[in-house]
Structures are given as structure tokens and as C-alpha cells.
Structure 1
């Protein structure tokens, strides 16, 4: 079995990491978006010498809150930012095109390759559904009942987690065919009592996981039957024992990031405590916890083949710094997983 190794990317962002994502067709290309107003494109290398190179960086007018790859054949990426714009980046030429404008910052953006849809979620309480097969057309605007904080898609579903514990699930084929705003496929209340920090869909299209600012993760299934809903559960994580001189108990950290392994369906969580844990969703157990990182874990992403796990590390806002800066403290690590490192119990 090949051993696991870990390395650090050169020339990291100079401020907090907002998201990171591998190319769907290459486990060696990685995009990182940052509050420093840039998107970074890295190339992982194998063999002797450096483990990665910075290929390019793309400047924006304001902090970039999310990034995703588009259709691999077009070499495009899409960004969401504080400048209220949804942009397409030609990763070869660096040319940027504004696809739509929201009236408030754009928090999230996801691309569905199966339906050729780009979906953005903004703090103006709307989704913009961009049908990329119809270039130049206006996006379909879907009003939301709350401010969106996290967005994730599976092969057929889109999960939107909002304030007030609201969760809307949309059917992607319905969105692709819609000419007017469709109703959600399902409307749910989050199993978590506090603000949702992250959401990630299972690669097998069966369900999703959410995390909160209060050190908890919930796992749910899409199928709306009593049997399926009875399987959902939540658990505590990313907590540390407080010193006895401070009264004991737990110090609770936000769970900032979630990512499902594309092959085994297990998932990783990253928290403000600076740790990453691997979980078996079916067996309801923690498989392993990695060594503590020097700062909070802000973002996670598996490569499409499951070989790599990228980890964005930067100071967390929970540290209470008045003059927040990630300068010199933002780092991106990539872990090359062992062959069965992310394999859950009973997985074939």
C-alpha cells in the first residue's frame, strides 16, 4: 500500500482562503480563492523536486468568496465575490467575463457538468441559475426566504443552506428546464440548532452533510420516507477540553469545511481547532484525525480520483483579532492519501 504524504503549496494567498477545488478532469490542477482579491491556479507535480507550482493568479476588484471549475474542455473557472459579480475566467488567457450581477455580495457558486448549469447564491437572498448552453442569456433568478451561507450539488440535487436553519433542496433537471422560478423539491429545517457553516453533497446522490458554528455535523438523506429520515443523525466534533483552571468543559469550534471522498463516500471535516477528521457516514464513526495545523482549517477539497485532499489553513475569526490578517499565516497543504486511508468500514 502506498504511504500517505503531505506537502505545502508555494506562494500561498496573502489573506484568508475562502475555497479550494480540484479540476474535475485532473487531480493535479487546483484553484484557490482568497480574501486577498485573487484566485490562484496551482499545478501539482510528481517526482523529484518541488511538489507544486503556481501557474497563474487572477486579480479581482474585491475579495473572492468562492471558485469552481467549469467544463474541463473549455478550461474555464467561475467566481463569486464581494464585488457582487459572478465571473467566468478563461484560465489560459486570464480574460474575465461578468455573467451576472447581484445586488449584494455573492457567497457561493457551483457548476453542474451533467446539466451545464452554473448556480450562484448571494446575500441578496437570490439564486442565479446560468444556463451556459445559452451564452448571453439572462440568468433565472430564484428568490430565497433567507440569506444563503452554503451551497452544494450532487448529480441531480442542489442544497442551499440559509439563515434561520432553512434548507432548500432543488432538483437540477427541473432547474435546467425551468423558464420561471420553480418551487424547491424539498424544504427542510436544519438538524443543527446554530448557523450553518458548510454543506456537502454525497457523490452517490443519496444525501448531504451540514456543519455549524457550534461544533456539530449532521448527515441526512434525500429520500423523503420515514425509514430514510429515521437514519439522519448529528454529532459533536472539533472540540477541545478546557483547562481545569478555566472551569473545565469543552471549548467549541466552528466546523468550517466539509468534503466527501468521491470514491469511498466517506467525508472530511475541518474546524476552527486546526484539525481535519475523516468520518464514515454509514458506520457513524470517526476513522482518523490528522495532526493539528498551525491555524484554523477554512476549506477542504478532494481531487476527482480521491488521491489528494487539499487543506486551506488561515487564522480564524474566532481568534478575536481586531486587525484581522492572514498575511504570512495563510497556508495550503495537500495530503496524498494512502490507498485505503479514506476507505470506510464495509466499503468494497
Structure 2
């Protein structure tokens, strides 16, 4: 079954963070000449729901243990890190403005260079169905990598697939891959045959796509997978609000209290118990004073994500 997908638009975020809701806090040194780092993405572990991987514009990827309220690992890169994802509980991947795709080993804090693009790498997604890492870049290409091979582009690169414009978002569900680029292009691929897109679409949004997420009606995947297959998803905006939606009935289920500034990224734990919210000014109104950038981790209550049952009128007598 082909996936449906959800898009959001507007500009990309910047951010640094501190972790507040679970009393874990990080701030840059007061003497640091760099601007406050901005989080580019938060990613939940595929199996251990309490691990959180965070990429940042301060050239760092950080691994947190939400249940223990501690920083488990830190990886320094050569430029702002634009995206990250888990491989398994022991490793992950990252990519960023230095054009490089990296594999991160958490236990040893070791990192390997998996390969490179010719321009900044905007997004990474690991496909468990294909056993490949997929990266999208501003060099207008999509690349597939086999991380099981030895390090080095000549041994790990599976294929390069030209795109009509710069890649800004990827989403996977099963063997389906959705790619959103500048110019409002959206391509849908079958990972089992990447020779050409299954579908080529033009986005229905007025502005450039910022984020695209797939949906299968039997198993809903949007910003993240919510527990028990409720078919609900969350969105965050520059207004500082996070909303939970019932996609099937096109209704808002819940709105969390306003966060200090723009929402740069969201991620649920795989079991749906926790929601990580990156509150970080995304410069939608230009350079101006703003609240400190933070990551909030909160418990999710069932009432916030479970669709309300439909109420049908009594049939006429």
C-alpha cells in the first residue's frame, strides 16, 4: 500500500539546548564566542524508548538517557549538524554542513566517516527494511549507504539518485521513501527499485516544504509513532505551541501549554510515553532577543493522544 504523507512548511530551525523537564540542563560556556547553538533534530531510540539523540548547530551530537537524566555521550563535528538518527541502541548516524555522513558508536564515543556529499547534508534516515542509510543533500542528490561495509565512500555507497532540487526532508515507512525538495517537489520511491520515482508530485503547500512524514493507515507514522496505533500525531510551530491531532477525523485533540519560543523539533519515544520538545527560536522574525534554547521532555498522558469516540445522532423513530 502506498503511503500518504503530511508536510509542513516555513524556514529551518537553529538552536542550542538545555534539558529542563527532567532536570537535565546544558548551557554554553559564558566565554564562548559562538552564538547559542540551535537544535536541528531530536531522535528517539528505536528500541530503548528513553534514549534521545540530539543534533545541534553548535557542531555537536549528544546522546541523553531521559530516564536517568544524564548525558551519555557527545560527538564533535566539523560544522553545524543538521540531522541525526539511530541505527540501534549502540550506534547512530549524523550529517551536516561539513558535507559529511558519520556513523557514531555510543559505547566508545568513536565516529567513522561513512561518506560525503558535494554540499551540506540536510537529512538522514535509516531503513530497517533495506538495511541502508539514506541521506539527502543540498547538492540535489539522494544517496544510499550500506553501513555494514568498511568505512569509506567507495565501499559503503550503494547508489546516487539525482533530485530536481535541494533535499530538505525524508520520510520512510516500510519500503516507501518520500523525498521533499526545494521548488515544492515531492518524489516517492520504492526502496526495492530506486531506478526512478514511483510518483512525482508538486506540493500542495504554498511555500517550500520543511518537513514531510509518512502515514500508513494501519500503522500511523508522522512526527513519530504513537502508542497503540491511535493514528494521532503532533506538530510544533513558531508560535511556541505543540498540538496533537486526530488525522483520520481532522480534529485537534490537545494543545500543550505554550513553550518559551519556537518549536524547532519534536520526537516521541517509541513506546509513546515521552515527548521531547526542542524549544528554540527559528529566526522566523530575524535576529532579535529571544528566550534560551531548551529541550523539554514530558510524560504523555493517554487523554492527550487518544482519539475521542464518534458520537452518532439517534436515528429518527
The counterpart of 1:271, out of the listed 234, 237, 246, is 237
Kindly state the Cα deviation for residue 30 of structure 1 after the two structures are TM-superposed: 0.4
CA–CA separation in structure 2 for the residues paired with 1:53 and 1:22: 15
Q: Call closer, same or farther: CA 1:183–1:290 in 2, change over 3 Å.
A: same
**1:286-343 per-position Cα deviation (integer Å, ceiling 9, x unaligned):** 1111111111000001111111111011112113117x9x8x8110001211134211
- Find the counterpart in structure 2 of residue 341 from structure 1: 304
- Find the counterpart in structure 2 of residue 186 from structure 1: 199
CA–CA separation in structure 2 for the residues paired with 1:190 and 1:207: 21
1:1-348 → structure 2 map (5 Å cutoff)? 6-7=21-22, 9-11=24-26, 14-45=36-67, 52-72=69-89, 75-135=90-150, 136-175=155-194, 182-202=195-215, 258-261=223-226, 263-321=229-287, 329-346=292-309
Q: Call closer, same or farther: CA 1:155–1:204 in 2, change over 3 Å.
A: farther
Q: Are the equivalent residues in 1 in contact too, given 2:66–2:297 (CA < 8 A)?
A: no
CA–CA separation in structure 2 for the residues paired with 1:89 and 1:120: 15
Kindly state the Cα deviation for residue 12 of structure 1 after the two structures are TM-superposed: 5.8
CA–CA separation in structure 2 for the residues paired with 1:344 and 1:12: 38
Structure 2 SS opposite 1:304: coil
**1:105-132 per-position Cα deviation (integer Å, ceiling 9, x unaligned):** 0000000112211000000000110123
TM-score under structure 1 normalisation? 0.75
CA–CA separation in structure 1 for the residues paired with 2:246 and 2:91: 33
Q: Are the equivalent residues in 2 in contact too, given 1:277–1:287 (CA < 8 A)?
A: yes
Q: Are the equivalent residues in 2 in contact too, given 1:20–1:301 (CA < 8 A)?
A: yes
Kindly state the Cα deviation for residue 203 of structure 1 after the two structures are TM-superposed: 5.7
**1:129-160 per-position Cα deviation (integer Å, ceiling 9, x unaligned):** 01234443333100001111111111221111
CA–CA separation in structure 2 for the residues paired with 1:44 and 1:173: 36
TM-score under structure 2 normalisation? 0.82
Q: Are the equivalent residues in 2 in contact too, given 1:11–1:54 (CA < 8 A)?
A: no
Q: Which fold has the larger relative contact order, with Cα–Cα distance below 8 Å and residues 6 or more apart in sequence?
A: 2
**1:163-186 per-position Cα deviation (integer Å, ceiling 9, x unaligned):** 1111001112334xxxxxx10111
Structure 2 SS opposite 1:164: helix
CA–CA separation in structure 1 for the residues paired with 2:27 and 2:276: 13
Q: Are the equivalent residues in 1 in contact too, given 2:45–2:88 (CA < 8 A)?
A: no
Q: Number of paired residues? A: 279
Kindly state the Cα deviation for residue 9 of structure 1 after the two structures are TM-superposed: 3.6
Q: Are the equivalent residues in 1 in contact too, given 2:134–2:142 (CA < 8 A)?
A: yes
Q: Call closer, same or farther: CA 1:105–1:85 in 2, change over 3 Å.
A: same
**1:55-113 per-position Cα deviation (integer Å, ceiling 9, x unaligned):** 121111110000000034xx111001100001101111111111111110000000011
Can you give the 5+ residue segments of structure 1 that lack an aligned partner in the other structure? 1-5, 46-50, 176-181, 210-257
CA–CA separation in structure 1 for the residues paired with 2:113 and 2:134: 14
- Find the counterpart in structure 2 of residue 244 from structure 1: none
CA–CA separation in structure 2 for the residues paired with 1:10 and 1:300: 18
CA–CA separation in structure 2 for the residues paired with 1:125 and 1:207: 29
Please, what is the CA RMSD of the aligned residues? Answer: 2.3
